[in-house]
Amino acid sequence: MVRGGKMRSRKRSIDEIIKNALADAPKIEGYTIQQLAKITGAPWPTTRWHLELLEARGAVGHYQVGRAKVYALKKKRR
């Protein structure tokens, strides 16, 4: 679509943004919900909800660091 003489790119879904961010996360660590909320620009409750969906699908896993959950992409098994 053209708006104001500029091409508008397709808006990415929050799921895509989270997956891309986690793909680029440090391999040992990952990101907390607050860090992912900042990256996506979405409120943390929305980010948490999407992370729970991705975790239920088996795409994302987490581990505890103190009171925080650190999320990372699960490695694909061959």
Check residue 65 and give its pLDDT: 82
Looking at the predicted structure, is the pLDDT value of residue 75 above 80? no
Domains annotated on the chain, with CATH: 12-73 (1.10.10.10)
pTM value? 0.62
Looking at the predicted structure, is the pLDDT value of residue 5 above 60? no
Under 8 Å between Cβ of 41 and 27 = no
d(CA 42, CA 38): 7
Check residue 61 and give its pLDDT: 93
Check residue 30 and give its pLDDT: 87
Looking at the predicted structure, is the pLDDT value of residue 2 above 80? no
**21-62: per-residue pLDDT in tens?**
888 776 667 899 999 999 999 999 999 999 999 999 999 999
